A = this chain, B = another copy of it.
Amino acid sequence: MLDRFQSPGYMTNWAARLFARAIDRRLKSAGISSGQLPVFFALGQGEALTQKALTHAAAIEQPTMAATLSRMERDGLICRRPDPADGRSALISLTPAGLEKVEVVRTAIASVNAAAISGLSPEEQTAYLAAIQTIVTALAKIPDEP
């Protein structure tokens, strides 16, 4: 019988949910949620990027990013201006209100990450990051059929 604690897939999913929950609870009062983090990181220096570039930076699918950006626009965190170089695109950047929250976001991420790995030695922390990078690479490559 398979033990869920020994299943990399199950444990990774569990850890990811706990990470997201910790971030959401910390940033709820700021009106920010976990799915928005990649956008804050990509635009945190005042950059203006297309939706495609943001989608690539977050490693999610395009409709997911479109929905996240819609919510962030609704909440006044980002604004879009037409891309002069391409009529299909808009250049997306944080609003002043969004930029004001970058530090809070960074602090929350650092705090949650630090708490998460606090039980690991420095060597174990490095090994964990290396292992999960290897896993991501492997999973990105496998075909749909066994």
Contacts of A120 in B (CB 8 A): 131, 134-135
Q: How many copies make up the complex?
A: 2
Q: Which chain B residue lies CB-closest to A25?
A: B144
Interface of A is mostly: helix
B106 touches A139 (CB 8 A): no
A residues contacting B by CB (< 8 A) are: 1-2, 4-20, 22-23, 25-26, 34, 37-38, 41, 45, 57, 59-60, 106-113, 115-120, 124-125, 127-129, 131-140, 142, 144-146
30 A-B pairs, CB-CB below 8 angstroms? A2-B110, A5-B129, A7-B109, A8-B117, A8-B125, A9-B23, A9-B109, A10-B37, A10-B38, A11-B132, A11-B133, A12-B15, A12-B16, A12-B132, A14-B136, A15-B16, A15-B136, A16-B17, A18-B140, A19-B139, A25-B144, A115-B139, A117-B135, A117-B138, A118-B138, A120-B131, A120-B135, A124-B131, A127-B127, A127-B128
